[in-house]
Homo-oligomer: A and B are copies of this chain.
Amino acid sequence: MSGYPKSIKNVISEFKKLPGIGRRSAERIALELLKRDNNDALALSEAVKNIVSSVKECKVCHSFSEGDFCDICSSPARDTKILCIVEEAKEVYSIEDTAGYKGVYHVLKGKISPLDGIGPEQLTIKYLLERIKEKKFEEVIIATNSDVDGEATSIYLAEEIKPYGVKVSRIAFGLPVGGSLDYVDRDTISKALECRKEM
């Protein structure tokens, strides 16, 4: 690849920086862009330029938004009595994909992680508590992940939120739907037993 003209080398090296793209894939993409209609490359270039200028943070839930408030926070169809707390904005969209949740969200922008030097003040917990104080939610669902830091964050949040007199719940962990005991790790099985429900 050393012999390619500079503009091809530039595309290869920029693509190589992206997650999951190695030198070979980057090269293939660069050659493909040259092969195709120029408009394809220009559309890609524009889309990439726009993503950083257009995407901001919702002032309410801290998820992705193109305006001051995201589509979910500004929708009159959402149930503003239920709040779901997630670590990252992308998790909002994973939950949205299920189409089963109609409440609103709060994005922490990380989790408490003493080893990485991340305490509650580095997250959006201050704004979360302000929201809870003002809005009188009926239920707050903590949907941080089940790793050690995610669990610790959920315990910390529950303790902070309970004094406001709101019901706090945690998403369930257990066997994946369609999963078999044979293929599931030990921790998940323990969790599934521990969280068993009466039939």
Contact = CB atoms under 8 A, between A and B. Distances in A.
Nearest to A90: B31
A106 to B, nearest CB: 16
Contacts of A1: 93, 97
The quantity of this chain's copies bound in the complex is 2
A56 to B, nearest CB: 9
B14 A19 contact: no
A2 B50 contact: no
Given A32-B18, A42-B52, A7 B92 contact: no
Nearest to A58: B5
A152 interface: no
Given A48-B41, A55-B34, A64 B8 contact: yes
A110 to B, nearest CB: 11
A34 B51 contact: yes
A11 interface: yes
Given A4-B64, A7-B47, A41 B52 contact: yes
Interface stretch (A65-73, A111-119, A125-133, A180-188): A65-73
21 contacts: A3-B71, A3-B97, A4-B64, A5-B54, A5-B55, A5-B65, A5-B70, A7-B47, A13-B47, A17-B40, A17-B44, A19-B25, A19-B29, A19-B32, A20-B29, A33-B51, A33-B52, A34-B51, A41-B51, A45-B45, A45-B49
